[in-house]
């Protein structure tokens, strides 16, 4: 097994999903995820995409992500607002609560640690 992993989604069958009904605020967002790596220690990486909509988020994990395309607004319950566009990066830590609103279909790459 190689010690390097290209961040390439070609050949990966994507998974589709939606926010849980009790978290949905507006719209009908559809999530598409290409899971590239699942490593020891609860580390995951891949590409995630969502169509427009808004839902509640609550993080039990640590996540770093980089917006590849689209526009989203992440708002914390304490009122901090992050307007995200292509090129923006953000870290969400365990305990973060708020909402995610996809204004324009958004794609990000991510690394998650449980």
CATH number, position 84: 2.60.120.10
Task: Note the pLDDT of residue 31.
Answer: 98
Quote the tokens at residue 33: 């995820």
pTM of the model: 0.94
- Residue 3 forms part of a structural domain: no
The mean pLDDT values, 10 residues at a time, for the chain of 114 residues are 90 97 98 96 97 98 98 98 98 98 98 97
For residue 39, what are the domain limits? 34-113
**How many distinct structural domains can be found in the chain?**
1
80 inside domain: yes
Backbone angles phi, psi at 110, to 5 degrees: -145, 160
Answer yes or no: is 28 within a domain: no
Q: How high is the pLDDT of residue 90?
A: 98
Q: Is residue 20 part of a domain?
A: no
Q: Is residue 24 part of a domain?
A: no
Identify whether 54 is part of a domain: yes
């Amino acid at each position: 097994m190689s010690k390097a992993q290209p961040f390439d989604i070609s050949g990966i069958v994507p998974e589709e999903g939606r926010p849980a009904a009790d978290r949905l605020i507006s719209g009908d967002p559809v999530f598409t995820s290409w899971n590239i790596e699942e490593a020891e220690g609860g580390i995951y990486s891949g590409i995630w995409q969502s169509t427009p909509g808004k839902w509640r988020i609550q993080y039990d994990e640590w996540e770093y992500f980089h917006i590849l395309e689209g526009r989203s607004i992440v708002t914390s319950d304490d009122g901090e607002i992050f307007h995200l566009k292509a090129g923006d990066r953000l870290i969400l830590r365990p305990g973060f609560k708020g909402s995610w609103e996809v204004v324009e279909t958004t794609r990000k790459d991510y690394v998650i640690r449980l």
